[in-house]
Amino acid sequence: MISLDKLSGAYPAQSKEVSQTMLSPIFVSFAKRYKLTTRETQVMKILVLEGKRNDDIASMLFISPKTLKNHLAFMMRKTGTSSARGLISLFFKHAMQILLPSV
């Protein structure tokens, strides 16, 4: 898997900030399109930008792993996906439609 650091060519700290800033409007658009809650959008950002495992995401958000699984289940139901990978893939498809609408 190629990290965002390698894609942007920036130093790791700069890369993360640049990625979050550039993708923020896309996350908002994605959340509105699929009616995600604020917490679900936070989960989505961590999945996409950091690629953390469920236990790590739960710890970062100060919630139990079971609560995180519930958030993911609701997100998958809203988006018609069946896995975290599916969520990430759908997000990037959405981003490509915004960034390259004619493709």
Q: At 77, phi and psi to the nearest 5? A: -65, -45
pLDDT value of residue 3: 46
pLDDT value of residue 14: 56
- pLDDT at residue 4 tops 80: no
pLDDT value of residue 103: 64
CA dist list (Å): 48 to 3, 35, 51, 85, 92: 11, 18, 6, 9, 9
pLDDT value of residue 62: 97
Which pLDDT tens digit goes with each residue over 26-70? 999 999 999 999 999 999 999 999 989 999 999 999 999 999 999
CA dist list (Å): 79 to 16, 35, 57, 62, 95: 26, 9, 20, 24, 15
In the chain, what are the domain boundaries? 9-24+39-99
What CA–CA distance (Å, rounded) separates 16 from 38?
Answer: 20
Q: Which amino acid is at 65?
A: P
- The CATH number for 9-24+39-99, chosen from 1.10.10.10, 3.30.70.20, 3.40.462.10, 3.30.230.70, is 1.10.10.10
pTM, two decimals, is: 0.79
pLDDT value of residue 102: 78
